[in-house]
Structure formats: C-alpha cells, structure tokens
Amino acid sequence: MQPEPNIRRVGVLGAGVMGRRHIDAWQRLGMPIAGVYARDPMRGRAAAETCGCQVFDSVTALLDAIEIADICLPTFLHRSTVEQAAQAGCDIVCEKPLALKSEDAEAIFALCEGAGVRLFVAMVVRFFSAYRKAWQTVRGGTLGAVRTIALERVGSPPPPEGSWFFNSALSGDMLTDLLIHDVDYATWLAGDVAAVHATVHSSGQLQYAYLTLEHTNGTVSRIKGGWADAAPGLQARGQVVCADGKIQITPKNLYLPTEDPYVAELRHFHDALVSGGPFLVSRSEVLRVVRIMAAAREVARNRCTMPIGPADAAK
C-alpha cells in the first residue's frame, strides 16, 4: 500500500513500544525509513534491524537526513525534540501526550507554526474502527443526543520498576499516559468539559484511576482504568448511551483482524501532508485534553472537583 505521491524519508525517534509499532506501520505503508534514533543504542540497533535502516547517535544527525520526524520519545522530551525537528524543516507526528502543561503544548504548536511545518498528535484510539464507527453514529444524529459515556482501559503488565512512567513530573503517571486516550475520545464525542473529578489508587507498580467528566452540554463521561497485573495486553471497552439507543464497544469489536489502527493513523497523517487537508486531531482538541489532564492530576492529588475553563477558539 504505497502512499503516493510525494514519498518522503521518515525518521523514527524512539525505539520503545510505540517506536517499534510506528516502524512496523511505516513499513506496511511502504514508506522509506531513513533512520532510527534511540536513547538506548541497543534498542535502536534492534529496531533498525527490523527495517534495514541506519541507526543515528544523535537527534540532530537523524533530522538532517529526513523530511518527516516521527517522535516516539518520552513525554518530557517532546518539546525540545519537536523544536529541533521544526527548526530542521521536518513535518512532525508526535506521540501522545504532547505535553503535561498547557504552556508547553501551546509553545510547541506556536514554534511549528512559526517554522512553517505541520504537527500531528497521534491519538490512535480515534483510528480504531469501533470507536470511529461510534463517533460517526453519534455525529449522524440517528440516536439523538449523547447522555452518558462509559469507557474503560486496562494495560498490563505495568511498566518495570524505575521506569520514567512512575515519575509524575515526567509522565503524568498512568492517569495521563493511559487514560488520555479515553478523555480525548469522550471530548471528541461530547465536546468541552465544565468540571472533572478524579481519584487514583496505587500499590507499588499497580495503578487504577476513576474519572468523571461533566461536559458543558450535559453529557457525563465516566472513565476508569489503569496498569494491572491481570492477563497481558490491553483491554478496552465502552458504552455510549444516547436519547434513542446505545452503542457498545467491546474487546472483540475494537477493530477487524485485517485492520491496523497504527497504519490507519499514519496513513491519515501522510495523506493530509500530501493533500494539505486538516488532521483528524485538531490543535484546539489537543490543547483541551492537555488542560483536562492537568486538572485531573490536581484533582486526584487534592481530592477535590475542579472546573475547566472554556476552550480558547483561537488556539
């Protein structure tokens, strides 16, 4: 499946789980991967071997050799790496979360705009067919207004001891890194949020969170999930209750065996670059979710309810 025309060289920055997934997706799309950079050279070499590309020992060296930067590095490196990629003239796809602070997310978009490059934030759940079909049904209006949304996401096993994921200042913990998918999806379906409630329970490496989003249109979203020690893998499900019916999302119907959401996501990104069309994930939507996740972390720490300011339409 060649994404023609205007094939450009891709560089993947990061060789963890997401970096390897993106390398595989680019290969399936027939895109030339010019190189890989990883903080761990051994991981970088192993990832590069899967696609027969070069391993670079610095971000700068890789950026000089590519036109598209696929950033799958840890969250705390996103702002500095995006800045380097933008200054190198690369269009950018960056893994979620884009940033933990609103000011960082806004600065990232501003510097890309100033450099004349495009930035796409990879919110892959929007490309799972079950979630996409539910969104299309809601948008079609056949079931009436959305009343409630229930979403669950459990990932296992948890990250290893000593991982940067457990440093809240670097990752935002599980609450941000994992459940950001469902917060993004809930706001994609029901729009802006007026208030957020959140609690997090943890025991060693295990973490579980409960979030409630009160949307400005009256919809209520209840989200739960975490890092668990149950059966390996990811379990996700959901239910969207509308005025005239409901939609179920189950582990069995997330996507068809012939589909790959990561391929669909990167195909969309590349097609939008070629056509000049909009990205499915907009700047204002990214900034909205960053604000909500920041509020959720504060609420969980202080055991309170926090109002969310209105979205800034100019962003």
- Asked whether the beta carbons of 236 and 111 are under 8 A apart, the reply is no
Mean pLDDT lowest for which of 15-19, 104-108, 260-264, 310-314?
310-314
Parallel/antiparallel/unpaired status of strands 33-37 and 10-13: parallel
Mean pLDDT lowest for which of 68-77, 121-130, 153-162, 278-287?
153-162
Which pLDDT does position 234 carry in this prediction? 86
Position 314 pLDDT exceeds 50: no
Domain count, the chain: 2
% of the chain exceeding 70 in pLDDT: 94
In a domain, 235, yes or no: yes
- Asked whether the beta carbons of 211 and 223 are under 8 A apart, the reply is yes
Position 304 pLDDT exceeds 80: no
- What is the four-CA torsion angle of 83, 87, 88, 89, rounded to 10 degrees? 110
Domain boundary (122, 140, 169) is at: 122
- Asked whether the beta carbons of 66 and 59 are under 8 A apart, the reply is no
- Asked whether the beta carbons of 174 and 265 are under 8 A apart, the reply is no
Position 52 pLDDT exceeds 50: yes
In a domain, 315, yes or no: no
What phi, psi does 141 have (nearest 5°)? 80, 5
Mean pLDDT lowest for which of 1-15, 31-45, 167-181, 186-200?
1-15
* Residues 108 and 130 occupy one common structural domain: no
Domain hosting 239: range is: 126-258+288-307
* Residues 135 and 249 occupy one common structural domain: yes
CATH code, 20? 3.40.50.720
* Residues 91 and 187 occupy one common structural domain: no
Q: What's the whole-model pTM score?
A: 0.93
89: helix, coil or strand? coil
Give the separation between CA 298 and CA 304, rounded to whole angstroms. 8
40: helix, coil or strand? coil
Q: What is the mean pLDDT of residues 140-154?
A: 97
Position 311 pLDDT exceeds 80: no
Which pLDDT does position 6 carry in this prediction? 57
Domain boundary (65, 99, 122) is at: 122
- 238 membership: H or E segment, kind and range: strand 233-242
* Residues 294 and 211 occupy one common structural domain: yes
The DSSP symbol for 257 reads T
Give the separation between CA 56 and CA 66, rounded to whole angstroms. 12
Which pLDDT does position 7 carry in this prediction? 67
* Residues 34 and 168 occupy one common structural domain: no
Q: Confidence class of residue 250 from pLDDT cuts 50, 70 and 90? A: very high
% of the chain exceeding 90 in pLDDT: 86
Please write the tens of the pLDDT for every residue from 187-240.
Answer: 999 999 999 999 999 988 999 999 999 999 999 999 999 999 876 788 999 999
Return mean pLDDT, the chain: 93
Query: Within 10 A of 219 (CB to CB), how many other CB atoms are there?
Result: 22
Which pLDDT does position 310 carry in this prediction? 64
The dihedral through the CA atoms of 69, 22, 180, 125 has a sign that is positive
In a domain, 4, yes or no: no
CATH code, 222? 3.30.360.10
* Residues 91 and 111 occupy one common structural domain: yes
Give the separation between CA 90 and CA 111, rounded to whole angstroms. 12
- Asked whether the beta carbons of 235 and 229 are under 8 A apart, the reply is no
